[in-house]
Structure 1
Amino acid sequence: MAEAWLFELIMGIGKLFLNPVFYLVFIAAAFYGVQRVKRERQHFSVRAENAYFELKQIFPLSLTIGLFLSIITVTAGLAVPLELIVFTAGATILFILTPKVRWLAPAYTLSIGVLLTFIANRQEWPMPDFFTSDTFGIESIFPAAALLISLLVIAEGILISRNGKKGTSPRLMNSRRGQQVGMHEVKRIWLLPLFLLIPGEALSLTSDWWPVFSIGSNTYSLIVAPFAIGYQQQIQSSLPQKAIEAYGNKVIVFGAILLLLSSAAYIYPIATLAIAVLAILGREFLNYRQRVTETNSSFYFAKRNEGLMIIGIVPNSPADKMELKIGEVVLKVNGSIVNDENGFYQALQKNAAHCKLEVLDINNELRFVQRALYTTDHHELGILFIKDEVKKGNRAV
């Protein structure tokens, strides 16, 4: 029995690499990284994280979450029709080609897959045998789909709150009043592989070697489906880490609400459609509220009468090693008061071998940091400030 399950797992993983979503996620992450580096160099003449940063964020947290959810779906015997995976993949491919990364949230892609699966079943759409499965009746399948939506929404919230706040990208713009201000942006995509049960022997129609096993009186195939989870957010009113974590927690709560409501689908299977629509509308409402709140709030990263606010830190730079943080304000450099970027670097050059900073932290407490400087160190310490001038085209929207 153990050998049979091992064979099932290996063959199920093999199907993962036949899904185009798997490869498109890596291509998209690489593209986002190149875009970000290009913008940061345009705004600051230096990039923060390297272009591979987004690629490195695809895993491993999503793998851990995917494994945990796979244990739930398989042990609970949650079976979904193959059509659902096909339609969800189709929606994902369509959205991944658009600039709206947030549309890759499972509340959109998976819910659209559920709605299309229902329509295809009712209207008896002609589909290739390889893309269809024996659903044992739509009523027995849809409750599992409702549960899957809620679980993936919760997974999205965890990824946002735990990983989305890492390596946010600073950017500059002119406010509507013509003042130079800054904000942070995160544009992230994750790949969550999930083991799922497919009812019937659909996958063995064209491949006799495909593993099929029975649970009770029903027959299932095991497959690993790659779910892309996209996330994009701009933060101007607060520190990015706090804002992103708070937003992720809201998504988790929303997923928990969907999870409670999904129990109704086991009594009334048609309620799955309502849950899918609610997932789309609720997720869009969270996005709308976040955008409105940010638009109506003042800029956190703006010029101050005293000191220079740090909007970004280059990793592994002297500033990073001095444990300077985004949102802190540099008041003095080597004993000299600084109010602009030119004054900062003039004060820094007073002592080429040593740097001492007086910093106001995010809790408005004064602290001192210092470090010896070496010829191999970043010539600007690796601190990103709001520039005195912002290039045309970087207007607030």
Structure 2
Amino acid sequence: MDVAVEIGKKLLSAVVQLITHPFYYVGILFVILQYRRQIMFERKLFSVKLHSIVPETWRAVLWGLVGGLCASVVLAFVGATLQPEALLLLWVISLLLVFVRVRYLCLAYAVGVIGILQTVLIWVPQLQTVEPLKWLVNVLLSVDMPPLLALVAVLHLLEALLVRLQGARSGSPMFYESKRGKIVGGYQLQGFWPVPLFLVVPLQGGGMELPWQPLLGGELWQYGWAVAGFPFMLGFAERTVTRLPQDKVRWSSTLLIAYALLVFLGALAAEWMSVLTIAASLLCIGLHEAMLALSRMDEADRSPYFVHNRKGLMILAVLPDSAAEQLGLKTGEIIHKVNGFPVLSKQDLHFAMRQNSAFCKLEVLNLDGQSKFLQKPLYAGEHHQLGIVLAPDQDALYFAEERPPGIIAYVRRKLVGLISKQPPSHSA
């Protein structure tokens, strides 16, 4: 009973620490701004809104909370923890790295850099005596790298699960320029989750011994412990023009799982032999780069998916609460005939829809290439033409550009917009 009371007190203290931490609310604000920007893109490209800020934000917060609680339990038994000094160092390094590339705002890069710097200080002890660097040297040498590497692994495993479960539903259809200069359909897949973590922290003279023995940390846990609440931000952003959204998130989450497992093995190796810390740190960065390179190669080696063909018109997206959603139309299906008329262009679709303004009969090729027949009466007040977003044709005037690599260039570009041209409405 005393153990349960002690754990309860420590958890309550950590909860208070978390809900008073400003970075948690900064993360929620970031989620709101990202979804606001996403909705602005959707309105500009398609003159419709496919997502809503409030439901998407609440979903991100709730999934982040559930994921954070599950990850905290795993981290408690693994022994992955974070000292306050190391947290400050992580923020500083992350902010410096983001000026190189926006995507470097990731825990993996900052932890890898800390491991490399720590090894350099150990190998070149003369650097430890440089007076202006005294604070930095002391913090770097005090960081216990194996638990920090394990933290990276567990957070990426959590990210993989969140991506697998939620990555596709928050994606936005986009028009992109292909490598051959043609306008094709695609998806900007993204997800952002503010994750509250409750980390068990070893203390010297901090009270009772930890009731269990974590995998990492050794004797550190025998002299007392506390629970600290830390907010983290997990984010995922991928672009695809060659896969369905659900296929892309499965591919990406599989890579993330493999990355997490390999980094965790690196953490175990560094715990077993400290000289392997440099290898584990390089692995932390190198594997992350390799994962991104594999994703780019996968896109480059495949043909664009969201293009029209001789069988009909490709559906890029289905509007929520529309006639198309009620009919059961899905992204990636092909509209072959409407009211008995073959449709190979938007003009064909508009003509076929006008032949019966009160009723609609469709022949659609599903994702397996099999025909299915659908029909539905059309009522006043419904979307004027089913409620689908078609893949673009070469008459499209707007398409989304890729982001520049640097944060300064990104902000400057964002001020004028990331859209090169404006397409006519492709909602049908």
**How has the CA–CA distance of structure 1 residues 87 and 320 changed in structure 2, closer, same or farther, with 3 Å as cutoff?**
farther
The amino acid that maps onto 2:104 is W
**How has the CA–CA distance of structure 1 residues 113 and 18 changed in structure 2, closer, same or farther, with 3 Å as cutoff?**
farther
RMSD over aligned Cα atoms: 3.2
Distance 1:238 1:381 in 2: 24
Correspondences of 1:18-29 after superposition (within 5 Å): 18-29=20-31
The amino acid that maps onto 1:87 is L
Distance 1:267 1:352 in 2: 72
Distance 2:49 2:320 in 1: 10
Correspondences of 1:49-64 after superposition (within 5 Å): 49-52=51-54, 54-64=56-66
Per the alignment, residue 228 of structure 1 pairs with 233
The amino acid that maps onto 1:67 is L
Distance 2:54 2:11 in 1: 30
Give the alignment's TM-score, normalised by structure 1.
Answer: 0.84
Matched residues, number: 381
Q: What is the Cα deviation at residue 360 of structure 1?
A: 0.2
Per the alignment, residue 376 of structure 2 pairs with 371
Per the alignment, residue 5 of structure 1 pairs with 7
Distance 1:117 1:321 in 2: 59
Correspondences of 1:1-397 after superposition (within 5 Å): 1=2, 2-52=4-54, 54-91=56-93, 100=102, 102-112=103-113, 123=128, 138=142, 141-200=144-203, 213-215=207-209, 217-388=222-393, 389-392=395-398, 394=400
Distance 2:52 2:101 in 1: 21
Q: What is the Cα deviation at residue 358 of structure 1?
A: 0.7
Deviations 1:266-305 (A, max 9, x none): 2223433432321111111111221133134321111212
**How has the CA–CA distance of structure 1 residues 17 and 186 changed in structure 2, closer, same or farther, with 3 Å as cutoff?**
same
Deviations 1:51-100 (A, max 9, x none): 44652442333333322221233345544322222223445566789983
Q: What is the Cα deviation at residue 375 of structure 1?
A: 1.6
Give the alignment's TM-score, normalised by structure 2.
Answer: 0.79
User: Aligned with 2:274: secondary structure?
Assistant: coil
**How has the CA–CA distance of structure 1 residues 89 and 20 changed in structure 2, closer, same or farther, with 3 Å as cutoff?**
farther
User: Does the CA-based 8 Å contact 1:333-1:347 persist in structure 2?
Assistant: yes
Distance 1:294 1:367 in 2: 30
User: Aligned with 2:27: secondary structure?
Assistant: helix
Per the alignment, residue 206 of structure 1 pairs with none
Larger CA deviation: 46-55 vs 280-289 = 46-55
Distance 1:67 1:90 in 2: 26
Q: What is the Cα deviation at residue 219 of structure 1?
A: 2.9
User: Aligned with 2:233: secondary structure?
Assistant: strand
User: Does the CA-based 8 Å contact 2:363-2:373 persist in structure 1?
Assistant: yes
Q: What is the Cα deviation at residue 310 of structure 1?
A: 0.2
Distance 1:190 1:387 in 2: 31
Q: What is the Cα deviation at residue 383 of structure 1?
A: 0.3
Distance 1:25 1:377 in 2: 37
User: Does the CA-based 8 Å contact 1:84-1:113 persist in structure 2?
Assistant: no
Q: What is the Cα deviation at residue 325 of structure 1?
A: 0.8
User: Does the CA-based 8 Å contact 2:197-2:231 persist in structure 1?
Assistant: yes
User: Does the CA-based 8 Å contact 2:327-2:375 persist in structure 1?
Assistant: yes
Deviations 1:173-214 (A, max 9, x none): 343545331111112211222111233379xxxxxxxxx543
Q: What is the Cα deviation at residue 17 of structure 1?
A: 3.4
Per the alignment, residue 209 of structure 1 pairs with none
Per the alignment, residue 409 of structure 2 pairs with none
Larger CA deviation: 351-360 vs 60-69 = 60-69
The amino acid that maps onto 1:327 is G
Distance 1:219 1:24 in 2: 32
**How has the CA–CA distance of structure 1 residues 39 and 374 changed in structure 2, closer, same or farther, with 3 Å as cutoff?**
same
User: Does the CA-based 8 Å contact 2:28-2:61 persist in structure 1?
Assistant: no
User: Aligned with 2:224: secondary structure?
Assistant: strand
Per the alignment, residue 205 of structure 1 pairs with none
Larger CA deviation: 86-95 vs 153-162 = 86-95
Q: What is the Cα deviation at residue 110 of structure 1?
A: 4.1
Q: What is the Cα deviation at residue 394 of structure 1?
A: 4.3
Distance 1:176 1:217 in 2: 59
User: Does the CA-based 8 Å contact 1:150-1:255 persist in structure 2?
Assistant: yes
**How has the CA–CA distance of structure 1 residues 296 and 166 changed in structure 2, closer, same or farther, with 3 Å as cutoff?**
same
Larger CA deviation: 323-332 vs 30-39 = 30-39
Larger CA deviation: 283-292 vs 172-181 = 172-181
User: Aligned with 1:60: secondary structure?
Assistant: helix
Per the alignment, residue 406 of structure 2 pairs with none
**How has the CA–CA distance of structure 1 residues 387 and 73 changed in structure 2, closer, same or farther, with 3 Å as cutoff?**
closer
User: Does the CA-based 8 Å contact 1:92-1:228 persist in structure 2?
Assistant: no
Deviations 1:239-289 (A, max 9, x none): 121122112111101211222232212222343343232111111111122
The percentage of aligned residue pairs carrying the same residue is 26
Distance 2:222 2:337 in 1: 75
User: Does the CA-based 8 Å contact 2:39-2:50 persist in structure 1?
Assistant: yes
Deviations 1:121-169 (A, max 9, x none): 98485659xxx99x9x848x33222222221222222222222122321
The amino acid that maps onto 1:108 is Y
